[in-house]
Amino acid sequence: MSSLLRLFAALFIITLLIAGMFSYILFAPQSSDTSTVRYTVNQDDTVDDVAKGLADSGVIMNDGIFRFVWKLEGAGLIQVGTYTIPKSVSMHALYRLLRVGPDRTEISIRIIEGWTTQQIAEYIASNNLVTVDEFSKAVRQDWSNEYPFLAGLPAANTLEGYLFPDTYRIFEDADSKIVIRKMLDNFGEKMTEDMRREAQSQGYTIHQIVTLASIIEREVTSDQDRRMVSDIFRRRLNLGMPLQADSTINFITGKKDPQAKSVDLAIDSLYNTYKYKGLPPGPIGNPGLSSLRAALYPIKNDFLFFLTDTKGNVYYSKTFEEHKKKKLQYL
């Protein structure tokens, strides 16, 4: 009987030791270091990926122990997001944090009318959301399954023109696709079904309207001037005249010249609307609602030429001779 009691006592002590060791592993701080580590769990990360990442980041000492105890703790779903984790965190507190998810901080970003996709990518990267390369790769993907208004988008085109300019609240751990979806959702709301039907009734595709709107956006600034210029461009297209929009030359060169240089006018590109008639292959920026409406609802006029001075004033002419005189006068 005494030997049986001794066996029970030994087992009890062993159990206490195991429980103590397990409790230590679970509740003891991982480190005395009070600094924090920023760690991001991505959508496709497995528990193994997270364990290795946390070990490489210095949050935990051993990824194998993390995986073992994670299972003992009941496993569960690790929430996607960017975490701020103290190096002194206990394993138990870390598990709880990963199951609940990070405290998500929103930041405000403002996308300006007329910005190109490259400008948007650089601006978003400057706000530490995603890198330029990540964003640029995402806009080259095919989004037409999610957004039917992109169904007619030429295969070679990016989302240029469809990233709607506006102010957005974005979680700081958002990835490129989340940011892009916000902008495409907004475009889908602003470019209403009535506007899409109007484009169709006029014989235009959505892509043509967005392309025209993007040029108008870069040429003039007021609502009335945009609708006036829209009519001028439409009539040039109908007459078989080149659009001769300096903004399309600037899109090629990356310059901001109010009047394109003669050397740039010779560039062989389908975006050179001095050299090639018709609309360019796609938008030259991301137009706002005013320019989209102007492209759809022009103000009829008798002018065929216009120019904009350095102060944004617009001067219209009916003949090329009159246009040349105003160029000399105002430019």
Q: Within this chain, do residues 263 and 177 fall inside the same structural domain, yes or no?
A: no
Q: Supply the DSSP string of 120-132, one letter for each residue.
A: HHHHHHHTTSS-H
pLDDT, tens digit, 9 for 90 and up, residues 47-73: 889 989 988 888 887 888 888 878 776
Per-residue model confidence (pLDDT) at position 15: 61
Final residue of a domain: which of 190, 211, 244? 190
Q: Within this chain, do residues 80 and 143 fall inside the same structural domain, yes or no?
A: no
Q: Within this chain, do residues 279 and 254 fall inside the same structural domain, yes or no?
A: yes
Helices and strands (DSSP H and E) totals, the chain: 14, 6
**168 touches 108 (CB < 8 A):** yes
Per-residue model confidence (pLDDT) at position 24: 55
Per-residue model confidence (pLDDT) at position 27: 60
Name residues of the chain where pLDDT drops below 70.
1-28, 30-31, 73-75
- Strand ranges (DSSP E) for 103-147? 106-110
> What is the C-alpha to C-alpha distance for residues 315 and 308, in angstroms, rounded to an integer?
6
Per-residue model confidence (pLDDT) at position 280: 97
Per-residue model confidence (pLDDT) at position 291: 98
pLDDT, tens digit, 9 for 90 and up, residues 82-130: 888 888 888 778 888 888 888 778 899 999 999 999 999 999 999 988 9
Q: Within this chain, do residues 240 and 316 fall inside the same structural domain, yes or no?
A: yes
Number of domains in the chain: 3
Q: Within this chain, do residues 43 and 96 fall inside the same structural domain, yes or no?
A: yes
Tell me, yes or no, whether 214 lies in a domain: no
Per-residue model confidence (pLDDT) at position 285: 97
> What is the C-alpha to C-alpha distance for residues 284 and 250, in angstroms, rounded to an integer?
9
The domain containing residue 248 runs over which residues?
Answer: 219-330
Final residue of a domain: which of 43, 74, 100? 100
